[in-house]
Structure 1
Amino acid sequence: MTASLKTQSHWFVLYTKPRAEKKLAEQLREDGIESYCPTQIKVKQWSDRKKKIEIPILPSMILVNIKDDERDKVFNRRHAVRYLYWLGQPAKVTSEEVESLRSMLEDSQFESQGLEKLKPGEKLDMTALGFEHIQGTVKFVTAQECWIVLENLGYVLKFKRN
């Protein structure tokens, strides 16, 4: 690997201990490491009350933007487990995919789309739905729910209408 590639930062997928995603992301930011824990607001029902809570959409995973030669710094925090690997290399996520994920979750444009037009197995260019630089495959769809497989992450995003 050349020296310039080692000093260039990339987004990596980092596994966390269960239910420690938000905490680890915050701790890494305190350490000066850019991290992102994508979340979604859900309403939880208990026997005596309802409450809106923020739930990570990538369970036990966060995204970190760090230089290749500094990747071990995340393990200074006890909630970091390991990096996700793809074909023997640490899995990298493009900046465009991270920004698209951010804008998708912030804008909540997904809620206003006509889900009934989507079919399972359909290759989906998310820009057609108002998102940028995300491509995926529709895995499951109903009038209230849609699962989209993000090939580069090897992950399924599940969306439900409230």
Structure 2
Amino acid sequence: MFNEQPLAWYAVYTRPKCEKKVADLFTRKKVEHYRPVKQLVRARKMIEEPLFPSYVFVHIPESRNWVVRETDNVVNFVYWLGQPAIIPDHEIALIRHFLRDYEEVTVEQVPIQAGGERAPAAGGKIIQLSSNRVKVELSSLGCMLVARIPSREITVITGSKTVNGHHY
């Protein structure tokens, strides 16, 4: 097709506790999506908990946003400056890597600094790297991923830092 639009990742806001239902509907509609979940043990039972409550990410061309909007339990796209927020591929990849490589991953809001706007980072920018924690900024979502890691998994290689084989 000549009018083929590029695919982009968008954050979709769902009704509370409906992320899995929405993801299942996207699967039926053949909409590529990603529902980041962390595995937790509760009462000796393994459960999945959403990393981003009420969010599912979709990978679609802008022209197919109607398919997402017409899906049950979808409230709307997440907007930034009057447009649906586009999540860069590298940030989706960073979320996938964190959930795959670390057991204890949480999300924290990025503190807003008074007196100026922050420029978006070009990649996963390390906020903190200590003996047992790494924080990486997701600028498009205004938050950071935080993971607890054993110090034996951190190595310094000529000025850059490596955690579980990933360079930051």
- TM-score, normalised via structure 2 length: 0.65
- Please give the per-residue CA displacement for 1:121-151, whole angstroms capped at 9, x wherever unaligned: 8xxxxxxxxxxx422535xx99887765522
Corresponding residue of 2:77: 83
Q: Residue 11 of structure 1: CA displacement?
A: 0.2
State the distance in 2 between where 1:154 and 1:18 align: 20
Give the 5 Å matches for 1:1-16.
7-16=5-14
- TM-score, normalised via structure 1 length: 0.68
Give the 5 Å matches for 1:11-22.
11-22=9-20
Cα root mean square deviation, aligned? 3.1
Corresponding residue of 1:150: 138
Query: Is structure 2 residue 65 aligned with structure 1 residue 71?
Result: yes
Give structure 1 regions of 4+ aligned residues with deviation exceeding 6 angstroms: 141-147
Q: Which runs of 5+ in 2 are unaligned?
A: 112-122, 150-168
State the distance in 1 between where 2:44 and 2:132 align: 20
Q: Residue 106 of structure 1: CA displacement?
A: 1.3
User: 1:97 is matched with which residue: 91, 103, 108?
Assistant: 91
State the distance in 2 between where 1:89 and 1:142 align: 37
User: 1:135 is matched with which residue: 125, 143, 147?
Assistant: 125
Q: Indicate the SS of the match to 1:26.
A: helix
Instruction: Give the 3 Å change call, closer, same or farther, for CA 12–38 of structure 1 in structure 2.
Output: same
- The alignment of Structure 1 onto Structure 2 pairs a total of residues equal to 133
